[in-house]
Structure 1
Amino acid sequence: MTHLPEFEVIPAVDVQDGEVVQLVGGERGTGKRYGDPVEAAERWIDAGASTLHLVDLDGAFEGERVNAAAIEAVVDAVDDDVGLQLGGGIRTAAGARDLLDTGLDRVILGTAAVETPEIVADIDGTHPGSVVVSLDAKDGEVVVSGWTEGTGLDPAEAAARYEELGAGAILFTNVDVEGQLEGIDREAVSAVVDAVEIPVIASGGVATVEDVIALKEAGAAAVVVGTALYEGRFTLREAQSAADAADGS
């Protein structure tokens, strides 16, 4: 399932210490806990999700997969027709291939893609379209290692570079607004969308259904939503229905 639909609202299942957690501004230790990852995944699928966004938060900070057991439990629990993408602690092409061979549809590479860009082409060679390059922006530059290190890279320029290397999609997260329920940065998303032909998945700051619609209008192919869904600001069906109705699509 490397193909994204017209526009999709994707629930986030971020895992820390074996539990679902939503961080604020990408800061470790700020998370609010939302229970068992399998229960969360099943709840979102029951609510209509066709894709789940899985993140090993400890893996993102530690540089190796920490919550593998919890993630594998989710993979085992969901049907094959549900798309699964995973990020956090995936640092090697071999590790990415293993995940893709065991039921994941897409792997999300952030730090690894920045440090060794050729890993994108390497994985794409055996699993075409399966690599999502995660570009996390803070103060207008790409940051890595759990949002703690600046790279000096412009997100739009970086997105174009990874498209050339074979990325199937770009996940663009605005860390400045992550988890704060204060709205999105539409211009930043538009800049990345304009730089590439491949799908751009937007993430960070979604607080209202209007934010979801704005991201669709900015050209995003999908939006990942975490805190707003867990806090009940709107339902998954409300968000998807509103997006489907926007622009007459």
Structure 2
Amino acid sequence: MSAFPEFEVVPAVDVQDGQVVQLVGGERGTGKRYGDPVEAAQRWVDAGARTLHLVDLDGAFEGERANASAIERVVEAVGDGTGVQVGGGIRSSEDARSLLDSGVDRVILGTAAVEEPGIVAEISETYPESVLVSLDAKGGEVVVSGWTEGTGIDPAEAAVRYEELGAGGILFTDVDVEGQLEGVRTEPVRRIVEATSIPVVASGGVASVEDVRALADAGAAAVVVGTALYEGRFTLREAQETV
């Protein structure tokens, strides 16, 4: 099954210390808390979400899955009717496979894919189109380890490489505008869309329904929205209806 046959607005449920948190600019300790992950997830499903974006923030920073039980609870609660993509601290094909075996639709690989690109092909052999490679860019280069280390890699060039390895899509996060509610930049998204033929999921900076529309116009297959939805800047339905 191809990811995102039509454009989707995907609510983010980022988990830190068992609670939903939205970081500003990817900086640890800047987060505002939004309560229990299962309640948040249920709220977005009730509001019409077709897919949820779950991230273990502690896992992303520490390199091992720290909120696995909270994320399992969410996957169980939303059931089969809602797509679930999970990232944060997935560092091996075993980690990825255990999530996919447990009913997760897509795994998000960032640091692991950069450090060991072969892992993408390895997982894709058993689970085709199940890997979203997370390319987080700061100052025009891919960053890893919870956005703390630059790699010197160009995001569009990296996207082409991962497509060749069997990635089912690219999750592109513009870290420079992440969590700031100041709007999006469409140019970096457009560059990746033009370089590859797999779905590109855009993330970072969405503050208005106009931002959602701009990313859709830039060719994104889906947009992940966190802070703007939690802060009530617009509703999920308004975002879906704008495209």
Q: Are 1:20 and 1:34, in contact at CA under 8 Å, matched by a contact in 2?
A: yes
Work out whether residues 111 and 144 of structure 1, in 8 Å CA contact, stay in contact via their aligned partners in 2.
yes
Q: 1:12·1:225 contact (CA, 8 Å) conserved in 2?
A: yes
8 Å contact kept, 1:213–1:242 = yes
The answer on 1:91 being equivalent to 2:125 is: no
Counterpart CA distance in 1 for 2:27 and 2:195 is 29
Contact 1:11 1:44 in 2 (8 A): yes
Counterpart residue number, 1:10: 10
1:195 aligns to 2:175 (yes or no): no
Contact 2:63 2:91 in 1 (8 A): yes
Counterpart of 2:55 in structure 1 is 55
Once residues 2 and 145 of structure 1 are traced to their aligned partners in structure 2, the CA distance between those partners, rounded to angstroms, is: 29
Alignment of 1:28-177 (within 5 A): 28-177=28-177
The amino acid of 1:10's aligned partner reads V
Distance 1:221 1:41 in 2: 21
Aligned mates of 1:63, 1:224 — CA distance in 2: 22
1:170/1:200 contact within 8 Å kept: yes
Give the SS at the match of 1:113.
helix
Does the 8 Å contact 2:52/2:82 carry over to 1? yes
**Please, which runs of 5 or more residues in structure 2 have no aligned partner?**
none
Per the alignment, residue 247 of structure 1 pairs with: none
Residue type at the aligned position of 2:58: D
CA distance in 2, matches of 1:211, 1:95: 34
Cα distance in 1 between the residues matched to 2:67 and 2:95: 14
Amino acid at match of 1:177: V
Alignment partner, residue 225 of structure 1: 225
Contact residue 2 and residue 106 of structure 1 kept, 8 A:
no
- Does the C-alpha gap of structure 1 residues 14 and 2 become closer, same or farther in structure 2, counting only changes over 3 Å? farther
Does the 8 Å contact 1:2/1:130 carry over to 2? no
Question: Per-residue displacement from partner, 1:129-166 (whole Å, max 9, x unpaired)?
Answer: 00000000000000000000000000000000000000
Gaps of 5+ in 1: 244-249
Pairwise CA distance, 1:119? 0.1
Aligned partner of 2:235 in structure 1 is: 235
- Residues matched between the structures, number: 243
Say whether 1:213 aligns with 2:240: no
Aligned 8 A contact 1:8 1:240 in 2 = yes
Partner secondary structure for residue 192 of structure 2:
helix
CA separation in 2, counterparts of 1:10 and 1:209? 13
Normalised TM-score (structure 1):
0.97
Q: Give the superposition deviation at 1:2.
A: 4.7
- What is the CA-CA distance between 1:3 and the residue it aligns to? 2.5
Task: Name the SS of the counterpart of 2:213 in structure 1.
Answer: helix
Is the 1:135–1:143 Cα contact (8 Å) retained in structure 2? yes
User: Structure 1: which amino acid aligns with 2:115?
Assistant: E
CA contact (8 A) 1:25 1:179 kept: yes
Give identity over the alignment, percent. 77
Give CA deviations for 1:191-225 in whole Å, capped at 9, x if unaligned. Answer: 11111000000000000000000000000000000
Q: In the alignment, is the contact (CA less than 8 A) between 2:129 and 2:167 conserved in 1?
A: yes
Deviation of 1:5 after TM superposition, in Å, equals: 2.8
